Structure 1
């Protein structure tokens, strides 16, 4: 029997994590001879050979027609499928329908759920998880999380999966579906290793990537070390924060290059391309405070580059189950609390937390406040990564003005040591902590196998009328007291 056609649906195909996932899925399906089409709201960036159909209604809400609706979106998507496949069987594969970028996409997911057609809902991010500005878009939806045997919920990490199970999603209708890990670019190694470290952070410099931590590391790294962030934000909302860091780099002279790709060359006479930056880098880094799958933790190993930076147990705990240690990572960077002023910190916490919780239509309780304040503090220290940018800059200015370099500590498990010593030791390492053999669970071949399982689960189930998770229970899972983070607001 012929395989049903797959309709992969997302808002866009701009450069970024979800686009990489969709590109990999499309390559896997093409290789396997499985018919598919990608529906998105605008043409892909750059060159591509993807089977794309544009459905304008799918764009972000501020980019689409005011007269759009969930029903019109479904009608437009069905019309695009008829043009491509005629009237054959289809499995719908929706990415991030509940993230709050377009309320009509959430409504369309509910309409498709009610139709009884096989449906895969894949989650990369959640509006409930550190995205208070996105949540109001979908706050009134009563059909955000439909569930029935023919609807498979795919998660890229175990924590998110467990949160929705705790909220009432039947475990049998869930599927752990981590991303495939492929080289970010094809590059030949340099004939000689650079004399000084060049540390690349291959991300867009949005707020949760925690750029301030990169500046702190640059202030304490061995002389001659350079740090670079590949791209600036593409969301205008993050531009003011990014520009503050651009100005800070200029004011302090710290060796941090922002928006490097296409603008600056990594070495004399070298191209300014992404591949060139990868080729000339000696290490990759992550200072992010929130990720879905954490592709950046494993990609460096595919090109033989060691990784350093901040550990995120939400993603690295899954890697540990595969016996993977993705890099040399710290759990916290500890700064004496006297450097920030606890009362100042508390006042900023009250203001930021109240505003975030109001966006989620939740009151701020003393329990929320005290647990979050306690989560930032660690026996006379605070974690630099959970400070607002103004206090991060205050810490770095003090560091640059004095000789207290040993006062900043890197904590790994129960061990602490001065951050400058940790950096010198870590940057001296030239090989990844991950071997290519260990990446077996994350190869495209393994990814295709999981895709087939997903689609079989959805298409072979006996359709039933869907139920819907109570959205307040989902919100409660993500908004547990102590979970607040300044850089996720």
Structure 2
């Protein structure tokens, strides 16, 4: 059956990797990909899928639009998508409900009303991002006079959903969506270690030499693009608390201009305060070798759609520690996953608020307090006893168990079967 996979962009990141995996899992289907931007077209064309780039599908500039401007954009987007659809096509749209482009969200709703089979693959939700939801209201409600919730969650038999976890599955049911139109579709874990990748000790030796790090210390990496919800301030705080024991590295800078200013403030802060973190390590050394050579991968993120960071490093024999996001990790734990050291909160002496909920200025003040000795490290460890075991040795049988669960429960083959079965339900 013909499948059109659509998204706002194919910049490096989680959704792009899932789209690549979907194309791979649909090798016997006719697949087109429609996106607003694609810096590396070969990732699609090399997989024998058609690629079409329309800038109108990308994030919409946040500004006030006239009624005529909005209508013109709507007609254009509707037409651009429509010309790639037949009566049998499944339109598989990623992050339609994120609210980054309300025109696209409304256009796809109108297509669904016309009978197009829409699979809304929800990685994130505008309800979790107030500014995105208000943008939807400005366009959909204020200009087109439509109810936002009706557009986001139409009660149509040809409109189905894909969700990444049980939390979002329950969320849609609570919003009144029928269970039979929702597919729980955990992301496939497709990270296959290269055959020639060195063992952990050799990989660490190479990485430390390249990055000029003390090999006697632990190597702790955060395999992430630094954006707000990744909570980089907490990562920096932990690097200071463990600077005598570990080197800390984070892999990628942000690409979104909105996030770049925050990132610059943190990198400048580290430079001014002699905080030795390796930023953009993924651009300086081989990413796979970095993860293999790391003694631990850490996450301080407070919001994830799926939580790939909790899974992938284990395939390279690297344990994952850090902040727990219960509605994400509960699915992994239900599969039998063992996480050695995860924490829910980071308490700061004299402050009632979790560190992650403090603004950038307050986080910087606390880190400076720790550096100056105004905030005693000992008290931080006393109030957060989990920190005493954060980087404890992880037994090899735990690593092996987690690797087996990933291979059995998150395979690309199983993912493709679920996806095709859902499409068949939609086509009838």
Shift, 1:106, TM fit: 0.6
Conserved? CA contact 1:384–1:392, under 8 Å: yes
Question: Counterpart of 2:29 in 1: which secondary structure?
Answer: coil
Question: Counterpart of 1:391 in 2: which secondary structure?
Answer: helix
Shift, 1:136, TM fit: 2.1
State the TM-score, normalizing by the size of structure 1. Answer: 0.75
Say whether residues 1:77 and 2:48 are aligned partners.
no
1:15-94 aligned at under 5 Å gives the runs 15-30=12-27, 33-45=28-40, 47-48=42-43, 49-50=46-47, 51=49, 52-62=51-61, 68-81=72-85, 89-94=88-93
Shift, 1:279, TM fit: 4.1
Equivalent of 2:427, from 445, 449, 459?
A: 459
Question: Counterpart of 2:34 in 1: which secondary structure?
Answer: strand
Say whether residues 1:188 and 2:197 are aligned partners.
yes
Conserved? CA contact 2:343–2:386, under 8 Å: no
Shift, 1:13, TM fit: 0.7
Question: 2:382 & 2:118 partners in 1: Cα distance?
Answer: 45
Question: 1:314 & 1:252 partners in 2: Cα distance?
Answer: 36
Question: Counterpart of 2:93 in 1: which secondary structure?
Answer: strand
**Segment drifting more, 165-174 vs 41-50:** 41-50
Equivalent of 1:449, from 391, 407, 417?
A: 417
Say whether residues 1:319 and 2:341 are aligned partners.
no
| CA root-mean-square deviation | 2.5
**Segment drifting more, 157-166 vs 208-217:** 157-166
Say whether residues 1:123 and 2:95 are aligned partners.
no
Equivalent of 2:164, from 140, 153, 156?
A: 156
State the TM-score, normalizing by the size of structure 2. Answer: 0.85
Question: 1:454 & 1:44 partners in 2: Cα distance?
Answer: 30
Shift, 1:69, TM fit: 2.7
Conserved? CA contact 2:120–2:160, under 8 Å: yes
**Segment drifting more, 248-257 vs 439-448:** 248-257
Question: Counterpart of 2:282 in 1: which secondary structure?
Answer: coil
Residues 196 and 107 (structure 1), Cα distance of their counterparts in 2 relative to 1, 3 Å cut: same
Conserved? CA contact 1:334–1:409, under 8 Å: no
Kindly tell me the number of residue pairs found equivalent between the two proteins: 392
**Segment drifting more, 215-224 vs 107-116:** 215-224
Question: 1:53 & 1:88 partners in 2: Cα distance?
Answer: 20
Correspondence for 1:308: 321
1:410-463 CA-partner distances (Å, limit 9, x unpaired) = 88xxxx5162x223x43x437564532211221101111210222122112xxx
Conserved? CA contact 2:87–2:116, under 8 Å: no
Question: Counterpart of 1:334 in 2: which secondary structure?
Answer: coil
Equivalent of 1:132, from 130, 133, 148?
A: 130
Say whether residues 1:167 and 2:178 are aligned partners.
no
Shift, 1:257, TM fit: 1.8
Question: 1:407 & 1:184 partners in 2: Cα distance?
Answer: 42
Correspondence for 2:208: none
Correspondence for 2:210: none
1:173-212 aligned at under 5 Å gives the runs 173-183=181-191, 186=194, 188-190=197-199, 192=202, 193-194=204-205, 195-212=216-233
Question: 2:332 & 2:386 partners in 1: Cα distance?
Answer: 27
Question: 1:295 & 1:418 partners in 2: Cα distance?
Answer: 23
Question: 2:382 & 2:224 partners in 1: Cα distance?
Answer: 23
Question: 2:17 & 2:40 partners in 1: Cα distance?
Answer: 12
1:17-416 aligned at under 5 Å gives the runs 17-30=14-27, 33-45=28-40, 47-48=42-43, 49-50=46-47, 51=49, 52-62=51-61, 68-81=72-85, 89-129=88-128, 131-139=129-137, 140=141, 141-142=146-147, 143-183=151-191, 186=194, 188-190=197-199, 192=202, 193-194=204-205, 195-221=216-242, 223-262=244-283, 264=284, 272-336=285-349, 338=350, 340=351, 377=352, 382-402=353-373, 404-409=376-381
Correspondence for 1:480: none
Conserved? CA contact 1:147–1:173, under 8 Å: no
Shift, 1:327, TM fit: 4.8
Question: 1:325 & 1:429 partners in 2: Cα distance?
Answer: 10
Shift, 1:132, TM fit: 2.1
Residues 327 and 184 (structure 1), Cα distance of their counterparts in 2 relative to 1, 3 Å cut: farther
Shift, 1:283, TM fit: 1.8
Shift, 1:307, TM fit: 0.8
Residues 233 and 73 (structure 1), Cα distance of their counterparts in 2 relative to 1, 3 Å cut: same
Say whether residues 1:438 and 2:410 are aligned partners.
no
Conserved? CA contact 2:234–2:356, under 8 Å: yes
Shift, 1:133, TM fit: 2.3
**Segment drifting more, 204-213 vs 384-393:** 384-393
Residues 106 and 112 (structure 1), Cα distance of their counterparts in 2 relative to 1, 3 Å cut: same
Conserved? CA contact 1:334–1:410, under 8 Å: no
Residues 25 and 410 (structure 1), Cα distance of their counterparts in 2 relative to 1, 3 Å cut: farther
Shift, 1:44, TM fit: 4.0
Conserved? CA contact 1:182–1:302, under 8 Å: no
Shift, 1:276, TM fit: 4.2
Residues 39 and 335 (structure 1), Cα distance of their counterparts in 2 relative to 1, 3 Å cut: same
Q: Which one scores higher on RCO, CA 8 angstroms, separation ≥ 6?
A: 1
Residues 292 and 184 (structure 1), Cα distance of their counterparts in 2 relative to 1, 3 Å cut: farther
